[in-house]
């Protein structure tokens, strides 16, 4: 092949390459580039997942197509199955094409901070699909219930101290010329005023615990510090009754909770034990770790509580001994506050009692995950050891329970208290 022919072939190949390259470049330029970042469907999925309300999409069979974690938190979706009430409502919506509201509240109260009033709205999406939007109405329901209870309780309970103060004020006016009588009546007015102030304070505390205010965030709380502070608050009552409260050694235990509320609860248990115990009788506080719960037990050898009254002592304004309550300034709210503090911490309060032998109130609060391993090891040793026979074995009653829960006392402590 001659040189001119080779040169011509090379030039032709070059031209063909240039044309082909230009065509490929034009094709690439004409093809739209895929945008970087998430797609619209991915963004929609993220919005559903981040929604503060529960969202569930059902197909025409009532099966869950998509849902967010909030729907599980509210108990509407479990094991990827929708609540039967939501499925039934979805059937109606598919037939009528109209939105429908449905009550999806838990059938059994879980206590504490768990949702109690859940409302769902079911809307059609077309092609047999429906969406259920779920909202937690618990705060509003608790607030309304608290408002009603507050009005009813206050109107009843404030009559006594307010009426007494009015009568005493009249007596003071009638005895203006007698300094001794004036001093006696004004002392009683002061006593009733203090009682009234305590009643209002405890009513406010109880209304907060029942949902009138958002509860504080939970943190790791040192149980030993709670016991020490509660004992400090009870010092005046201990001095006046001649009762020295005995305690076990520091435990190093931690609970997940709010320190102020826990101190209030334990202080109420101590006040109760001191008020219903004979002067100089033993009262003790002990603490231990059992089955993932920290148990703080207050034991006394007071008058005890009859079996048919053991549930009622946790009711608002219920007084076991009305005369003693008036003498000690009791309001009948202390144990109700303890019950609600325990429930709001995911725990409970248990009671063992027998008339003439005394009582043990046990506050059970979930242990904090960072509880020292030393305390956990000691708890395992205690649980592995043969159980010691209690001084007065009996069945405990738990606040809110319909029947006793076990054969032994709630904390495994000696009901006799310190010897």
The reply to whether 378 and 272 lie within a common domain is yes
Those residues with Cβ within 8 angstroms of residue 114's Cβ, 6 or more apart along the chain or in another chain: 106
* Reported pTM: 0.51
Q: What CA–CA distance (Å, rounded) separates 260 from 144?
A: 25
**Could you tell me the CATH number of the domain that includes residue 223?**
3.30.565.10
The reply to whether 389 and 268 lie within a common domain is yes
pLDDT of residue 402: 35
- Give the residue from 104, 136, 168 where a domain finishes: 136
pLDDT of residue 146: 62
Q: How many CA atoms lie within 13 A of 1 on its CB side?
A: 7
Region of 332 on the Ramachandran plot (φ > 0 left; ψ -120 to 50 alpha; else beta): left
> Which domain, by its residues, includes 225?
218-419
Is residue 292 in a domain? yes
Place of tokens 């797609």: 39
Is residue 31 in a domain? no
In the chain, the number of structural domains is: 3
Q: What CA–CA distance (Å, rounded) separates 301 from 12?
A: 113
The tens digit of pLDDT for each residue in 333-380 reads 778 888 888 888 889 999 888 888 889 999 999 988 876 666 665 655
The reply to whether 272 and 233 lie within a common domain is yes
The reply to whether 124 and 176 lie within a common domain is no
The reply to whether 209 and 226 lie within a common domain is no
Q: What CA–CA distance (Å, rounded) separates 94 from 286?
A: 60
- Give the residue from 92, 109, 136 where a domain finishes: 136
**Could you tell me the CATH number of the domain that includes residue 154?**
1.10.287.130
The reply to whether 310 and 405 lie within a common domain is yes
pLDDT of residue 197: 74
- Mark the ranges of the chain whose per-residue pLDDT is less than 70: 1-35, 109-114, 143, 146-147, 149-157, 160, 198, 202-216, 316-332, 371-419
Other C-beta atoms lying within 10 Å of the C-beta of residue 339: 24
Residue 259 corresponds to which tokens in the numbers above? 């320190």
Counting every residue written for the chain, the total comes to 419
The reply to whether 237 and 350 lie within a common domain is yes
Of 277, 269, 179, the closest CA to residue 233 belongs to 269
Is residue 7 in a domain? no
DSSP strand pairing (283-290 vs 245-247)? parallel
Q: Residue 292 in contact with residue 366, Cβ under 8 Å? A: yes
The reply to whether 238 and 386 lie within a common domain is yes
The reply to whether 189 and 313 lie within a common domain is no
Q: Residue 329 in contact with residue 236, Cβ under 8 Å? A: no
């Amino acid at each position: 092949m001659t040189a001119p022919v080779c040169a011509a072939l090379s030039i032709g190949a070059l031209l063909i390459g240039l044309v082909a390259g230009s065509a490929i470049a034009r094709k690439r330029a004409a093809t739209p580039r895929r945008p970087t970042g998430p797609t619209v469907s991915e963004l929609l999925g993220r919005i559903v997942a981040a929604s503060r309300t529960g969202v569930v999409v059902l197909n025409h069979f009532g099966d869950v197509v998509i849902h967010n974690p909030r729907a599980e938190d509210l108990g509407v979706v479990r094991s990827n199955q929708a609540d039967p009430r939501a499925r039934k409502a979805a059937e109606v919506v598919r037939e009528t094409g109209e939105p429908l509201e449905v009550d999806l509240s838990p059938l059994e109260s879980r206590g504490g901070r768990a949702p109690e009033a859940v409302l769902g709205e079911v809307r059609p999406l077309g092609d047999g699909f429906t969406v259920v939007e779920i909202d937690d109405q618990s705060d509003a329901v608790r607030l309304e219930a608290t408002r009603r209870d507050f009005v009813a309780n206050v109107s009843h309970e404030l009559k006594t101290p307010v009426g007494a103060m009015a009568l005493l004020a009249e007596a003071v006016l009638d005895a203006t010329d007698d300094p001794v009588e004036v001093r006696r009546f004004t002392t009683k007015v002061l006593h009733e005023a203090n009682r009234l102030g305590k009643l209002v304070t405890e009513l406010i505390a109880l209304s907060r615990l029942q949902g009138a205010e958002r509860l504080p965030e939970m943190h790791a709380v040192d149980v030993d510090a709670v016991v020490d502070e509660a004992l400090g608050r009870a010092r005046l009552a201990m001095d006046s009754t001649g009762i020295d409260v005995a305690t076990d050694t520091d435990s190093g235990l931690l609970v997940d909770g709010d320190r102020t509320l826990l101190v209030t609860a334990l202080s109420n248990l101590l006040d109760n034990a001191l008020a219903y115990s004979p002067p100089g009788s033993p009262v003790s506080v002990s603490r231990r770790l059992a089955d993932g719960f920290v148990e703080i037990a207050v034991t006394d050898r007071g008058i005890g509580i009859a079996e048919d009254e053991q549930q009622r002592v946790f009711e608002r304004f219920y007084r076991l001994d009305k005369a003693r309550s008036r003498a000690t300034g009791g309001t009948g709210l202390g144990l109700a506050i303890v019950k609600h503090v325990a429930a709001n911490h995911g725990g409970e309060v248990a009671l063992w009692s027998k008339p003439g032998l005394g009582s043990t109130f046990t506050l059970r609060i979930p242990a904090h995950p960072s509880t020292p391993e030393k305390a956990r090891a000691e708890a395992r040793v205690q649980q592995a050891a043969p159980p010691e026979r209690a001084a007065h074995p009996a069945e405990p009653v738990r606040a809110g329970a319909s029947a006793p829960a076990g054969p032994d006392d709630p904390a495994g402590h000696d009901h006799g208290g310190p010897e």
